[in-house]
Structure 1
Amino acid sequence: MFKKLTQSIVNQLDPKGDLVPVCSILDHEHFRPLCLVRRKRRAIFHLSPCYKQTQYRLADVLLPGEGDKSTESLLPSPGGEASRQFTVTQSVTNSIDGNLGLHVEPTRIELKGVTSLAKEWTIKMEKRPVPVAKLEVLKEEREINVNHPFIQQLKKTHQNLYVIHETIEASEETSYKESTQAERSFMAQLYAKLRMKGSRVNNQSITIPKGCTLAFRAIPLAIKNGSWDLQYFPEATNRSCFVSDGMSQGKLGELEAEVKKNCQILSKLPSDLSIVFLEAIKAVMRDRNLFQELSQKMEAVLDEGGCCELKTDSPGLKDLLSSFESSPRIHLLSWAEAISYTLDALDELMEDQLLLLLESLEEKIVPKQLKLVKSILEQDQYRKGPSSIDHNLVSFTQEKEEELTIAIVEMSGVKLQKDGSVTCGEEAFSAVAALYVSLYVLNLLSNQD
């Protein structure tokens, strides 16, 4: 819920800018002004850059200067002259009427239902910037401690370092509530084998504490021989601290190249390892805690160059991590990159969507769904009117498979009719791209072609 809230705030405040939403309320304290962050690999399906916390602040990696001037003096005080306060409100109420024909041996069942979604929130926020001019003065007064273990590790692993210079914080405690009500059987529940009749009400809420970081802006640092600089135009130069991460154009050809680069190693897995990888992916799609654990393990592998201990008490991950520990380092790193990329894509999907994908695996229709999603991406009409694709891609031998596929696609912002008519939302490409990556990996590991 927190991620949806912060993404919504960024979409309203800075839809095409460089404001980055904080994804987890548990980590918000690590995205305050002057905190140091690392940037995750750029992916086409990310609407905005993604960053990882480092547990360090700028002051932690600086050498003492004359008078040992504290960096705390750079921080704007709450409600201070440099701060700005404003309020954002959103109210959404959707109602969907529908019916579903499902063939369940030995009878056919007709189900009808109404699904409604309501969410409403008002949040008061404060913008807290660190004047870049003050950072320019600071870099002349204090050098980077190049012998700091963290800086040494970054240099060894060729990773860039960024400093947060502006945040959007909650200026008072706020509650965010979301209510979903489904009468009879909701499609996602049905296909996920949660066979239910009657009505279902799902109320969720989260309390945003005062001072919680909701979004931020970061600027890359260039470090050389103890000196450091701010990179105002990082994409236009090669002055990156350790390695440059370029921008993506977001077209299908580039998406396919990106997927091939990150996931080709999975096509070379022996059949027994493919099963191990697939079972682990399926496990994390069902369990958010497992998802987070595997993500952290893969980040540790990549950050430490494979020199980390991979132990777990989770049965769903034991076989996979055991395979990692017994494999050559070159394979371990490539596998970790592929899994990390896959998890990033899965993380962009809705929870119900993940359950529907698991059902698609059981129905063995993932290959056709992959072709369908690719055809949608080929239309390249996200800012144009409706278009159409080959209606055969929407035709399945069973109506259940057809309705299942349409439900999955529509959760990514695409309106798809059984005759092949397609209408996409303005921001649909990234969501559909994430779905394409997810289907590609599931198809690759399950060998359903």
Structure 2
Amino acid sequence: MFKKVTQSIAKQMDPDGELVPVRSMLDHEHFRLLCLVRRKRKTVFHPSPCYKQTWYRLEDVLLPGQDGKSSESLIPNGGEQDSRRFLIKKSGADRIDGNLTLPADLTRVELQGAASSAKEWSIRLQKNHIPPRNLEALKTERKINTNHTFIQQLQKTGQNLYVVHETIETLEETSCQETSKADGNFMAQFYVKFCAKGTSESTESITIPKGCTLAFRAFQLAISDASWDLRHFPEKFKCSLVCDDVLQGTLGKLEAEVRRNCHILFTLSSQLSIILLKAIKAVMGDRNLFQELSQKMEAVLAGGDSDELKTESPAVEDLLSHLQQSPAHILLHMAAAITYTLDALEELSDDQLLLLLESLENKIVSQQLKLVESILNQREYGKGFSTDPSLLFFSQEREHQLTIAMIEMSGVKLHEDGSAACTKEAFPATAALYVSLYVLNLLSKPC
């Protein structure tokens, strides 16, 4: 829910998309002013810039100045505050009612149902920023510590580094809540009368603390030996061509990206496939474990020591133990494939992840993958289109329902006759679902 709130705020405050929402409340402290971040690689399923924390701040990698001046002096009272403060509110309520009566001789069936949802939150915000002129002055006074382990690993792997210079933070503790409720009534009248009624209600809420970073902007750093500079006009995030290709129906582009990033998964033994699938299933149901595995794989890709692949969680212990004993080139390919898979899974909602886990148990991932393929292979978007109706047929009604729900959470509306509708905005989310299904299907296939 935190991700939905921050995405909504970033979209309202900056429709052009330069303001980056923080994706997890657990990470918000790593996106404050002067924090160093790395940008995640471009993918079809994530067309907008996304960043990962590095656990370092700018002052951590700078040499002391001649006068002992610290970069902390650039942030008086926590940052140069914008003279404006913001109040953002969001509220909404929806209700749908329906009934169906089917008379047939002595038989009569009635179905009645109602569903409602409501969401409401109000957040007071403040913008903090460091003027670029302050950073420009700092670069002449403080040089990069080229002996710092992080800087050495960064240069070795050729990764770019960014520094946070603007943040949107909460001015006070705030609670956000979403509620959904569904009622159903079923009556069948044959020679006897049978009635049943069901009600389901769910409430999702989150309390965001005061001073929590919700969104940020960052400058790219250009590091050359001990000198550094700010790139005010960095290379644009080139996603439009890739996204347009998918939106024009070139499903092959997306499949090629998956194969390029996950090619090593096609060569795994049956035993290792089972170990990896077990670990992925475990992190899909545990966000803290998800983050732990993601950070360890990112550390491997950044040139970290394989001796650090240790955990207290039995769920991923087998996987990390196997990776620790793997040759360096195998370890890098595995880390890249796992990171790519986790990036796709991270785009899905918690509810989608739970439905994916249930789909794995019911062994219907392969059919779901074909259904999502048929959706991504369309050429007319923003209009109605058709899929193969047979792909919507499952042996159990529950399997049919969870599949429809999981796909609709990505923004695609499916009907029983195979007709469907969606917008262009739904395709990155649908592409992330495709990647997730592709990898899970590959790992769960019998060898």
Q: Distance in 1 between matches of 2:78 and 2:99?
A: 52
Quote how far apart the aligned CAs of 1:230 are.
Answer: 1.1
Match of 2:58 in 1: 58
Q: Distance in 2 between matches of 1:64 and 1:311?
A: 35
Q: Distance in 1 between matches of 2:10 and 2:174?
A: 17
CA contact (8 A) 2:139 2:228 kept: yes
Match of 1:431 in 2: 429
Tell me if 1:259 matches 2:258. Answer: yes
Match of 2:298 in 1: 299
Q: Distance in 2 between matches of 1:68 and 1:315?
A: 47
Match of 1:210 in 2: 210
Match of 1:105 in 2: none
One-letter code aligned to 1:142: R
SS in 1 for 2:232: coil
CA contact (8 A) 2:82 2:126 kept: no
Q: Distance in 2 between matches of 1:137 and 1:157?
A: 29
Match of 2:33 in 1: 33
Q: Does 71-80 or 427-436 show the bigger shift? A: 71-80
CA contact (8 A) 2:81 2:126 kept: no
Q: Does 339-348 or 289-298 show the bigger shift? A: 289-298
Closer/same/farther in 2, CA of residues 318 and 133 from structure 1, 3 Å limit: same
Q: Distance in 2 between matches of 1:411 and 1:68?
A: 54
- If the length of structure 1 is used for normalisation, what is the TM-score? 0.85
- Mapping of residues 22-101 of structure 1, within 5 Å: 22-75=22-75, 77=77, 82-95=82-95
Q: Distance in 1 between matches of 2:111 and 2:308?
A: 50
Within the candidate set 427, 440, 447, 2:438 is matched to: 440
Closer/same/farther in 2, CA of residues 182 and 153 from structure 1, 3 Å limit: same
Match of 2:170 in 1: 170
Q: Distance in 2 between matches of 1:30 and 1:405?
A: 36
CA contact (8 A) 1:160 1:221 kept: yes
- Mapping of residues 396-415 of structure 1, within 5 Å: 396-415=394-413
CA contact (8 A) 1:76 1:129 kept: no
Quote how far apart the aligned CAs of 1:114 are.
Answer: 4.0
Q: Distance in 2 between matches of 1:246 and 1:351?
A: 29
Match of 2:181 in 1: 181
SS in 1 for 2:10: helix
One-letter code aligned to 1:72: E
Q: Distance in 2 between matches of 1:135 and 1:326?
A: 44
Closer/same/farther in 2, CA of residues 29 and 354 from structure 1, 3 Å limit: closer
Quote how far apart the aligned CAs of 1:444 are.
Answer: 0.7
Larger radius of gyration: 2
Quote how far apart the aligned CAs of 1:397 are.
Answer: 4.7
One-letter code aligned to 1:64: P
Q: Distance in 2 between matches of 1:94 and 1:47?
A: 30
Q: Does 150-159 or 110-119 show the bigger shift? A: 110-119
One-letter code aligned to 1:176: C
- Mapping of residues 124-203 of structure 1, within 5 Å: 124-183=124-183, 198-203=198-203
Match of 1:422 in 2: 420
Tell me if 1:335 matches 2:334. Answer: yes
Q: Distance in 1 between matches of 2:97 and 2:42?
A: 39
CA contact (8 A) 1:157 1:305 kept: no
Residue-pair matches, total: 422
Match of 2:367 in 1: 368
- If the length of structure 2 is used for normalisation, what is the TM-score? 0.85
Q: Distance in 1 between matches of 2:94 and 2:139?
A: 51
Q: Distance in 1 between matches of 2:327 and 2:89?
A: 53
Match of 2:17 in 1: 17
SS in 2 for 1:199: strand
CA contact (8 A) 2:306 2:324 kept: no
**Identity %, equivalent residues:** 63
SS in 1 for 2:337: helix
One-letter code aligned to 2:168: I
Quote how far apart the aligned CAs of 1:15 are.
Answer: 3.3
Match of 1:223 in 2: 223
Quote how far apart the aligned CAs of 1:336 are.
Answer: 1.4
Match of 2:281 in 1: 282
Q: Distance in 2 between matches of 1:429 and 1:21?
A: 20
Q: Distance in 1 between matches of 2:137 and 2:380?
A: 48
The alignment's C-alpha RMSD in Å is 2.9
Closer/same/farther in 2, CA of residues 30 and 421 from structure 1, 3 Å limit: same
SS in 1 for 2:86: strand
Closer/same/farther in 2, CA of residues 56 and 80 from structure 1, 3 Å limit: closer
Q: Distance in 1 between matches of 2:78 and 2:112?
A: 52
Q: Does 312-321 or 84-93 show the bigger shift? A: 312-321
Tell me if 1:379 matches 2:378. Answer: yes
SS in 1 for 2:306: coil
SS in 2 for 1:406: helix
Q: Distance in 1 between matches of 2:396 and 2:301?
A: 43
One-letter code aligned to 1:140: T
Q: Distance in 1 between matches of 2:313 and 2:81?
A: 50
One-letter code aligned to 1:255: L
Closer/same/farther in 2, CA of residues 358 and 378 from structure 1, 3 Å limit: same
CA contact (8 A) 2:37 2:51 kept: yes
CA contact (8 A) 1:76 1:128 kept: no
CA contact (8 A) 1:84 1:128 kept: no
CA contact (8 A) 1:306 1:332 kept: no
One-letter code aligned to 2:406: I
Closer/same/farther in 2, CA of residues 448 and 376 from structure 1, 3 Å limit: farther
Q: Does 322-331 or 298-307 show the bigger shift? A: 298-307
Closer/same/farther in 2, CA of residues 311 and 55 from structure 1, 3 Å limit: closer
Q: Does 296-305 or 73-82 show the bigger shift? A: 73-82
CA contact (8 A) 2:115 2:182 kept: yes
CA contact (8 A) 1:177 1:203 kept: yes
Quote how far apart the aligned CAs of 1:390 are.
Answer: 2.9
Q: Distance in 1 between matches of 2:57 and 2:167?
A: 14
One-letter code aligned to 2:438: Y
Cα deviations by residue, 1:54-93 (Å, 9 ceiling, x for unpaired): 2322122222334343323433657966443111111122
Quote how far apart the aligned CAs of 1:428 are.
Answer: 0.7
CA contact (8 A) 1:83 1:128 kept: no
